[in-house]
Structure 1
Amino acid sequence: MTKVKICGLMEAEHVKAAVDAGADAIGFVFAPSRRRIDMKWAAELAARVPENVMKVGVFVNPDAAELKTVYRNVPLDYVQYHGDETPEQIREIGLPSIKAFSVRTAEDVRRAAQYDVDYYLFDAPGTDFRGGSGNVFDWSLLAEAGIPSERTIIAGGLNAGNAAEAVRQTTPFALDVSSGVEREKRKDPELIRGFIRAVKERGEA
């Protein structure tokens, strides 16, 4: 069954809503973003998350030492790289990893094969910040990636209305949603529950 990651969580009530609704992973953003969170508060929120729910930290071109400090102290299960990190940099840091790729063309998708990471996240190009544009990219381009679908994560413009179709077209490891479960730029427990239900109920059909 496709897993669900709720990203950009900043408030305890929304962490609880995601966990209670069956989220498989939650994401904390440590990169420049309106959803940015500091390490201390992320650690307090992470303490409320069961061990079976993955905790992912989102970074853009991070300093390796600072990244490892956050990874250890929150603690995180995966580092999600959303910047210009090279395959060599990620390999040298040596932490469980997800690499995000902004998809405009088939070439953007093929570039993923250069990386040796645990999971590959394909997203629509960002606007003010890296990622998080709320737009959908052309899912058919993923056929160019040469990446097993069980190691792909789909993001960008997802919501309860299109989640099932995203799963049908791409059969990914997980869907990653942020703005699609927000009202007026703030996470909404009802939308979080609806999105998770849309994915999970499809998997049971």
Structure 2
Amino acid sequence: MTLVKVCGLRREEDANIVNACLPDYIGFVFAPSKRRVSAQEARRIRDRLDSGISCVGVFTHTPVEEIVSTAKTVGLDVIQLHWDTTEVYLDELIAAFNRNSLTGIKIWQRIPIPDEESKTDEFWLRIHRMPNLSRFDALLFDICVDQSDGGSGVAFPWEIGKRFYERIKIDNNLIFVAGGLDPMNVEETVRFFSPFGVDASSLLETDGFKDNNKVCDFVIAARKVGSHS
């Protein structure tokens, strides 16, 4: 079954919304964003979550020790590195987890997908500069305009994304698809990509806050199609 992540929780009442439909993962944003939360705010939400939901912390360009501190405070299960990580950084992060008895935390890497065909060579170079993708516990595809880190909530061109998917899955086929997903298009997305998981945030909101119906409809629709291949 396709795994489901609902990202951008920021109110304690958001815990009640996800507890009603039980996505596999929820995300807390610790990067610059209107959905950014503090470690203390995230902890209060986490304490209200169903125990079957795993917590992901989303970071960009964050010092290793800050990630370690946040992971401890919140009780994170996954770290999502939402920028072009380097080999040196990944080594330092893993070493810090080992020193702090956080070896059970998984590490996901955002993979940048271009918005235009003309940028594909440039984006492949970005990906090749990253650590070997097999070192990560999962990958997440997100559109990146030029040198941005992504997180725009906009969908990437599917045909471009599919070509990246087919090449990258040789190294790591645990791939989440993100960007522009909602209850109406997620089923088609799962059929097209057969991803390991899907991730949504902004389009599950009404007036800037998580909407109970949209969140639950998204989770149900994402799981309709069947298994990851």
TM-score, scaled to structure 1: 0.90
* Counterpart secondary structure, 2:51: coil
Q: Which moved more, 1:24-33 or 1:103-112?
A: 103-112
Deviation string, structure 1 residues 148-199 (Cα, Å, up to 9, x no partner): 43x1111011111111111112111110100120123221111101101111
SS at match of 1:21: coil
How many correspondences in the alignment? 202
Between the aligned partners of 1:13 and 1:172, the Cα distance in structure 2 is 29
Task: Give 3-state SS (helix, strand or coil) of 2:226's partner.
Answer: helix
Report the RMSD for the aligned CA atoms in angstroms. Answer: 2.1
C-alpha distance in structure 1 between counterparts of 2:33 and 2:171, whole Å? 29
What whole-Å deviation, never above 9, does each CA across 1:75-128 have from its counterpart, x for those lacking one? Answer: 10010001232133123211520011220155536536733110011111269x
Residue 45 of structure 1 aligns with which residue? 45
1:1-205 mapped onto 2 (5 Å cutoff): 1-94=1-94, 95=97, 96-104=106-114, 106-107=120-121, 108=123, 111=128, 114-115=132-133, 116-125=135-144, 130-137=149-156, 138=158, 139-141=161-163, 142-145=165-168, 146-149=170-173, 151-203=174-226
Instruction: Give the whole-Å Cα distance in 2 for the aligned partners of 1:199 and 1:136.
Output: 16
1:113 and 1:140 map into 2 onto residues whose CA distance is 21
Report the 3-state secondary structure (helix = DSSP H, G, I; strand = E; otherwise coil) of the residue aligned with 1:202. coil
Give the AA of the match of 1:183. T
Assess, with a 3 A threshold, how the Cα gap between structure 1 residues 162 and 58 changes in structure 2: closer, same or farther: same
Query: Structure 1 stretches of 5 or more lacking a match?
Result: none
Task: Find the aligned partners of 2:32 and 2:21 in 1 and give their Cα distance.
Answer: 28
Identity of aligned residues (%): 31
Structure number with greater Rg is 2
Deviates more, 1:30-39 or 1:80-89: 80-89
- In structure 2, C-alpha distance between the alignment counterparts of 1:192 and 1:9, rounded to whole Å: 11
User: AA paired with 1:186?
Assistant: F
Distance in 1 (CA, whole Å) between partners of 2:143 and 2:175 is 14
Q: Distance in 1 between matches of 2:60 and 2:85?
A: 8
TM-score normalised by structure 2 residue count: 0.81
Moved more, 135-144 or 163-172: 135-144
Give per-residue Cα distances to partners, 1:21-51, cap 9 Å, x unaligned: 1210000000100100001111111111233
For residues 18 and 131 of structure 1, the distance between their equivalents in structure 2, rounded to whole angstroms, comes to 24
Letter matched to residue 82 of structure 1: H
Distance 1:160 1:50 in 2: 22
